[in-house]
Amino acid sequence: MCGIVAYVGSKVARPILLEGLKRLEYRGYDSAGIAVLTGGKLHVARRVGRVANLQEAIEGQAAFDGSLGLCHTRWATHGGVTDFNAHPHTDDRHGIALVHNGIIENYAALKTYLQEKGHSFSSQTDTEVLVMLIGELYEGDLEKAVQAALREVTGAYAICVICEKEPGVLVCARKGSPLMVGIGSDNEYVVASDGAAIIAHTGRVVMLDDYNVVKMDAGGFRTTDIHNTPLSPRVQQLEIELEQIELGGFTHFMLKEIFEQPKSVRACISGRLDMREGRVVLGGLSSFAKELTKARRVVITAQGTALHAAMIGRYMLEDLAKIPTQTEYASEFRYRNPVIEENTVVIAVSQSGETADTLAALHEAKERGALALGVVNVVGSSIARETDAGVYLRVGPEIGVASTKAFIGQVTVLSLISMYMARKRFMSADQCLDLMKEMEAIPGKIERILEQAGRIKRITEKYVERENWLFLGRGYNYPTALEGALKLKEISYIHAEGMPAAEMKHGPIALINEGMPAVFIANRGRQYEKVMSNIQEVRSRGGHVIAVATEGDTEIAKHVQDVMYVPDVCEPLSPILTVVPLQLMAYYAAVARGHDVDKPRNLAKSVTVE
């Protein structure tokens, strides 16, 4: 997702804007730009590449020392990666500048209309069409022009707009893409697409809803909809702290977040395990306990890493709660004709709570009468607000693009939901208590795995030059294999394929050649002997096997090249442990190959447009 930061107040805007952009770099981008109103004139700079390039371009220029401005990091959708296509975009008549996240779907028709009106375009973007439309409708009131323009557009947007003719006025609006207004002292406002750009200045924010328009100036702020109907927004406190979004001595955010996972799981389960009663306490679901007990089917929808967590959740719900469950790519769910029967529960899983496809799938499910639950990390996010109920991860901000602690948080929460529903249906208090004790021990067991980081690094470096890897698992750890392969692909750019171990014989075994790394999740479980047979099949064809095995299993070392051990745990919870060595392998592979771990190419932290 692109990043937006805007400021209006009494301070010089430039350092606030650039600092905010740097805090949003983790989201992925290819260019950056800034517009500042100084002395009644608009000054704009745009550069391909990192924020540092933009900062260098305007260093020492007094023209950018005004107290009203906006800036942007762009991830190309419409138009190539060029200075001309970078934001902010300006109109050709009134000195209006705009930054935009989202996609204007009817931009082509609007562009034709504006060209007929005499407007001249310099970029290939849909965003320039929007700012020209605002300029065409401008009659001395920026707020009204923005409202009028947004009544004409179709698509998703989070925008901030300033104008030479109204110095001191900042207007922002949102539909489909996240945006929030940070409220400082003395009518100072910082607007951003992510709280990470705001928290250094204020913790008081207004989370904008769809079709909200906000006008800010020295007299305060007011919120309306696009039809100019006044609204009363709720001011809330940001749920993050500044130190949570800083490296704190680690080389990369991804490594920091891998090592934060014991703390993250502790936060996730805190107050949710009632050991005395042998039950899971999920306050977010309590109002719908009866509906969940009567559920006949569960659909879990997500994308990417969250979908792998959903697949594990499916295994648990069917295994523990005996509820028929399916997982769905959110991007496919909304575009077919899904069958939603009576007493169907749909669970949307998303770290950010803003994933466009997942949000759209959720809307489709609700429209068809499903009970909608959310499993998200970001408090107040779109999915959190639009579900009937849900459970927060509580793992803290995740800055690394390649998700680690959010994945473990998602699996943990889905475990809790499975236990919660199982206890209400078939599971005895003693059975539930046994699982809860296992869950309570998970953080300490992750810490034991992290103590092996040096050894995992050395194993990884043996294979890092190989361009094709396989990740294989069975049962609960088939999704773990998918997640391990995804992590390696995302940040090291090594081609990796995850699959069920038994599927290998049905075609992919043809890929195995001398020295090809094959990572097997081979912890002790119901299918351990089957996995061992699959290992032999790879070994006999020259593949080099790296096994994730259970502590104390010395026999496996005789059959593989390398072993990474995890503590013993009950099978349903095993993915929370077995994924950790795979996360570390991906990290060390990317570092060894010289890649920017926290800013992998072509990727954004959250995908908020289709």
Residues belonging to the active site:
2, 605
How far apart CA 181 and CA 70 sit, in angstroms, is: 13
How far apart CA 304 and CA 320 sit, in angstroms, is: 25
Question: What is the torsion angle, in degrees rounded to the nearest 10, for the CA atoms of residue 78, residue 83, residue 84 and residue 85?
Answer: 10
Do residues 345 and 425 make contact, with C-beta atoms less than 8 angstroms apart? no
Do residues 307 and 352 make contact, with C-beta atoms less than 8 angstroms apart? no
The residues that bridge with 499 in the sheet, in sequence order, are: 472
Q: Kindly report the number of other CB atoms within 10 A of residue 139's CB atom.
A: 9
Backbone phi and psi for residue 474, each to the nearest 5 degrees, phi listed first: -130, 155
Q: Kindly report the number of other CB atoms within 10 A of residue 424's CB atom.
A: 17
Q: What DSSP designation does 244 have?
A: G
Give alpha helix (H) positions in 72-154: 107-116, 126-137, 142-150
How far apart CA 239 and CA 394 sit, in angstroms, is: 10
Do residues 605 and 26 make contact, with C-beta atoms less than 8 angstroms apart? yes
333: Cβ contacts below 8 Å, ≥ 6 apart: 299, 301, 361, 364, 365
Instruction: Return the CA Rg of the chain.
Output: 25
Q: Are strands 517-521 and 544-550 parallel, antiparallel or unpaired?
A: parallel
Do residues 282 and 391 make contact, with C-beta atoms less than 8 angstroms apart? yes
Distances (CA, A) of 62 to 72, 85, 485: 20, 25, 49
Determine the angle formed by the axes of helices 405-425 and 574-592, rounding to 10 degrees.
Answer: 170
The residues that bridge with 139 in the sheet, in sequence order, are: none
How far apart CA 40 and CA 66 sit, in angstroms, is: 9
Largest Cα–Cα distance of the chain, in whole Å?
A: 79
Classify residue 120 by burial, with Cβ atoms within 10 Å: 0-12, 13-18, 19+. Answer: exposed
Q: What DSSP designation does 233 have?
A: P
Classify residue 151 by burial, with Cβ atoms within 10 Å: 0-12, 13-18, 19+. Answer: exposed
Classify residue 254 by burial, with Cβ atoms within 10 Å: 0-12, 13-18, 19+. Answer: buried
How far apart CA 397 and CA 447 sit, in angstroms, is: 20
Residue 224 host element (H or E): strand 220-225
